[in-house]
C-alpha cells in the first residue's frame, strides 16, 4: 500500500491530461503478443518496429544483437523508446530460451512448408513474432525452433516486404482481433502499477528529489 500511496503522490505532479493519457494507453497495452528482431542491420528498421509496437499496444520488444548492435533512432521511433520495454540479447539462443520461459510460442514470420496465412493465425496463444535480417531473413536456429510459421499473402511481383512494414501489418491484424476476443490480454494489476511508476519517472523532473522528500515526510 505504501508504494501505491507514493505512486498516487507522484501522479499529482502530472497534469490531468497526462495522467488520463497514461491510463488510457495502459488500458490498451498487452504482453499477450510480443515482437523480436534478429540482427537487423538497418537502424531505422528496428526503430520503426518499436514505433509500431507502441502504436498497436505491444509493451515489449526483444532485440537480438549477436552480430549487429546499434542504438534506437529517436527520430524514427518518435519517442516510442520511452514507452515500450526493450529487452536486449547477445544470442538468439538466449532470446528464445527467455521467451519460452515466459510462455511464448515462437512465430517465424517467413514462408514455409507448414506456414499459416495471417488471416488464419490463432490469436489464443501467447506469441512472439520473430523478424530477421533485411537480406538473409531469419536464422536457421529460429527456423528450427519455431513453433509455427506465418506469412502475409502477396499477389504482386514483389515477393517480400520491408520488415518494419511486415511488423506493422501483422501487429495491426492480430491486435485488432485480440481486442474483439474474450481473451484476457491486458496487463496485470502489478504490471500496470509498475508501468505507471516507470512512466511517471520518465516524465517528472527531479524525480529522485521528490521521492526522497516524500519518504522523509511520510
In tens, the pLDDT along 155-207 reads 888 777 888 899 999 999 999 999 999 999 999 999 999 999 999 999 999 99
Over residues 59-88, the mean pLDDT reads: 72
| 12 compared with 136, residue with greater pLDDT | 12
Q: Provide the number of structural domains found in the chain.
A: 2
- The predicted structure's pLDDT at residue 68: 56
Global pTM value: 0.89
Looking at the structure, do residues 94 and 123 belong to the same domain, yes or no?
Answer: yes
Looking at the structure, do residues 152 and 45 belong to the same domain, yes or no?
Answer: yes
- The predicted structure's pLDDT at residue 73: 47
Looking at the structure, do residues 134 and 51 belong to the same domain, yes or no?
Answer: yes
Over residues 33-61, the mean pLDDT reads: 88
Looking at the structure, do residues 140 and 42 belong to the same domain, yes or no?
Answer: yes
Looking at the structure, do residues 79 and 164 belong to the same domain, yes or no?
Answer: yes
Range of the domain at 5: 1-29+188-218
Looking at the structure, do residues 192 and 181 belong to the same domain, yes or no?
Answer: no
Most confident of 3-7, 20-24, 73-77, 156-160: 20-24
Q: Pick from 135, 128, 78: which is nearest to 107 by CA?
A: 128
113 three-state secondary structure: coil
Looking at the structure, do residues 99 and 23 belong to the same domain, yes or no?
Answer: no
* 186 vs 199: CA distance, rounded Å: 17
Give the percent of the chain with pLDDT over 70.
90
Sign of the dihedral through C-alpha 85, 90, 95, 98: negative
Looking at the structure, do residues 181 and 210 belong to the same domain, yes or no?
Answer: no
Sign of the dihedral through C-alpha 127, 132, 137, 143: negative
| 65 compared with 41, residue with greater pLDDT | 65
Give the percent of the chain with pLDDT over 90.
68
Over residues 76-84, the mean pLDDT reads: 67
Mean pLDDT (the chain) is: 88
Amino acid at each position: 500500500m505504501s508504494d501505491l500511496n507514493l505512486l498516487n503522490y507522484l501522479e499529482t505532479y502530472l497534469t490531468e491530461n497526462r495522467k488520463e493519457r497514461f491510463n488510457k494507453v495502459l488500458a490498451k497495452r498487452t504482453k499477450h503478443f510480443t515482437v523480436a528482431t534478429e540482427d537487423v542491420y538497418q537502424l531505422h528498421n528496428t526503430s520503426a518496429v518499436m514505433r509500431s509496437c507502441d502504436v498497436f499496444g505491444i509493451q515489449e520488444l526483444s532485440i537480438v544483437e549477436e552480430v549487429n548492435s546499434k542504438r534506437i533512432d529517436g527520430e524514427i521511433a518518435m519517442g516510442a523508446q520511452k514507452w515500450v520495454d526493450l529487452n536486449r540479447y547477445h544470442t538468439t539462443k538466449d532470446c528464445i530460451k527467455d521467451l519460452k520461459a515466459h510462455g511464448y510460442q515462437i512465430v517465424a514470420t517467413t514462408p514455409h512448408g507448414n506456414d499459416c496465412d495471417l488471416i488464419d493465425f490463432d490469436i489464443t496463444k501467447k506469441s512472439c513474432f520473430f523478424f530477421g535480417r533485411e537480406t538473409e531473413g531469419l536464422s536457421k536456429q529460429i527456423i528450427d525452433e519455431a513453433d509455427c510459421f506465418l506469412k502475409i499473402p502477396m499477389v504482386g511481383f514483389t515477393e517480400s516486404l520491408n520488415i518494419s512494414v511486415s511488423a506493422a501489418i501483422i501487429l495491426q491484424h492480430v491486435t485488432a482481433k485480440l481486442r474483439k476476443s474474450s481473451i484476457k490480454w491486458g496487463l496485470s494489476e502489478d504490471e500496470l502499477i509498475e508501468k505507471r511508476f516507470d512512466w511517471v519517472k520518465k516524465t517528472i523532473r527531479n524525480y529522485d528529489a521528490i521521492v526522497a522528500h516524500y519518504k522523509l515526510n511520510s
